[in-house]
Amino acid sequence: MAWRSWLTYLEGYLVLTISGDDPEGFLNLALARNICFWDITINRNGSIQAKVKAGEYRALRPLARQSRCRVRIVDKRGWPFFSRRLRGRQVLLLGSIFFLLAIYLLSTFIWVVEVRPGNGPLRRVTPAQVMAAARAEGLKPGARKSALDIRALEHALERRMPQVAWVGIRFQGTRAEITVVEKAALPGEEASDRPASIIAAKDGVIKDILVINGEGRVKAGDTVRQGQILISGLVLPSQPEKKPGEAGSPEQPLSPPRLVRARGIVRARVWYEGEKEINRRQVQEVPTGRQQTTIMVQVPGRRYILKGPERPSYTNYRQENKVMVLPSWRNFILPVELIITTYYEVQVRYRQLAYEEAVRAAGEQTLAELKEKLPPGASITGQKIVPLSKPEDEVVRVRAWVETEEDIGQVVPLSGSS
């Protein structure tokens, strides 16, 4: 329970190392006298490491002599010991308290406002216009978060900017993110744009083509390369056909070519390819459940440890850092950071994968990476994995393919048009 951990920290506890002829007998004698230990671990040299309340340490001395064991204090933890270390560091204590209070107070304000497009680059409004509208509604650097109603702000920004369809606001710490989704173009707007052609955005084999406007240059079954014209915006006039035996008539002048904005859908089969290597000897890190936390304050040139060890006592561990900084004010940045480092003890284990298992694992990873690159709207029609190494190889290499059906058309304005 969390409240028990806090109670133990307030009372203070010791980390002990128990060595000698009979450490297990020592623990049994202590348990018989209602002395509780926790986080008991056995070291490689046969000694035992455990934690006990600081007030129960004196009762362990006769038990150690009785079991012929040696009890050594490795670390003293908890508020009583922490407060003793701070008695001679009043300036550091006051500075830490002021720092934490400043962080708490400053975190209740918005210091950074960002604008993010929701579906591609913004075309109808600019980030500066969104920022100006938000500032007019009270969302600006220095505003208190508790005084802002997110839902009311979203509706107010939508009313101020009729070009947008939806506005979303969320707070992340001292940062406010405004997500803007613009309204779709009206049917008449796209037709008034300058002439353009539709080209292939990637290589593929045409499966279906629907020409709405323009002149189709490919048909189903054709293999196309990236950049090849699929639907041209340059429509050439058609030549009138002459019937057999018809007397020649004076040629009529042909109408000039027309420039239009090509519109249509071109779906094609596209293949994505990737390779990956994987070592059959896998290294796994298994958490043991033990952890240590260090809290320190960093100023230019020095670090002050407020709580926890300077280095973890574990041989193998995984480290996570959480850095808390004061928000910058205009061009002034306070050079003070609060760093919370958590060390998680892990056990390193090795596992030898079978050849088939390694091929399957490498293939699945390659397919997953390829599928992440697929564009929206692409449907997967097939996939394949081929090993490129031998069963006796230590490093397994595979090649994978993903076949999709997708729209490969890309609109490109015609050069020279305005």
The predicted pLDDT at position 398 comes to 95
- Complete DSSP assignment for 214-274: SEE---TT-EE-TT-EEEESEEPPPPPPPPTTPPP-PPPPPPPPEE-B-EEEEEEEEEEEE
Q: What is each CA distance from 301 to 73, 297, 304, in whole angstroms?
A: 32, 11, 10
Q: Maximum CA pair distance of the chain?
A: 130
Judging by DSSP bridges, how do beta strands 337-352 and 281-299 pair with one another? antiparallel
Pairwise CA distance, residues 194 & 411, whole Å: 11
What are the φ/ψ torsions at residue 289 (nearest 5 degrees)? 95, -10
Q: Which two tokens stand for residue 22?
A: 């009979």
Q: Which of 44, 7, 52 is nearest to 27 (CA)?
A: 52
The predicted pLDDT at position 247 comes to 54
Three-state SS at 290: strand
Judging by DSSP bridges, how do beta strands 112-117 and 175-182 pair with one another? parallel
Q: Which helix (H) or strand (E) holds 313?
A: none
Find where tokens 């900017």 sit. 161
139 CB-contact burial (10 Å; exposed 0-12 / middle 13-18 / buried 19+): buried
DSSP classification of residue 332: B
pTM: 0.45
Three-state SS at 9: helix
Buried b (16+ CB within 10 A) or exposed e, 71-95: beeeebbbeeeeeeeeeeeeeeeee
Q: What is the pLDDT along the chain (418 residues), one digit of tens a residue?
A: 455 677 777 788 889 888 887 888 888 888 888 888 888 888 888 888 888 888 888 888 888 888 888 888 888 888 888 777 766 666 776 777 788 888 888 888 888 899 988 877 777 788 888 888 898 888 988 888 888 888 888 888 888 888 888 889 988 888 899 998 887 655 444 445 688 899 999 999 999 999 988 999 999 999 999 999 999 988 887 766 655 655 555 555 666 788 888 889 999 999 999 999 999 998 888 899 899 999 888 877 788 888 888 889 898 999 999 888 766 555 556 677 888 999 999 998 888 989 999 999 999 999 999 998 888 888 999 999 999 999 999 999 999 999 999 999 988 888 655 4
31 CB-contact burial (10 Å; exposed 0-12 / middle 13-18 / buried 19+): exposed
The predicted pLDDT at position 217 comes to 92
Per the CB < 8 A criterion, the answer to whether 334 and 111 are in contact is: no
The predicted pLDDT at position 1 comes to 41
Pairwise CA distance, residues 156 & 125, whole Å: 16
For residue 73, the Cα-to-chain-centroid distance in whole angstroms is 42
Judging by DSSP bridges, how do beta strands 229-232 and 196-200 pair with one another? antiparallel
The predicted pLDDT at position 229 comes to 93
Q: What is each CA distance from 286 to 280, 343, 347, 351, 409, in whole angstroms?
A: 18, 14, 5, 12, 49
The predicted pLDDT at position 418 comes to 42
Pairwise CA distance, residues 105 & 94, whole Å: 16
Find where tokens 């050439």 sit. 236
DSSP classification of residue 311: S
The predicted pLDDT at position 83 comes to 74
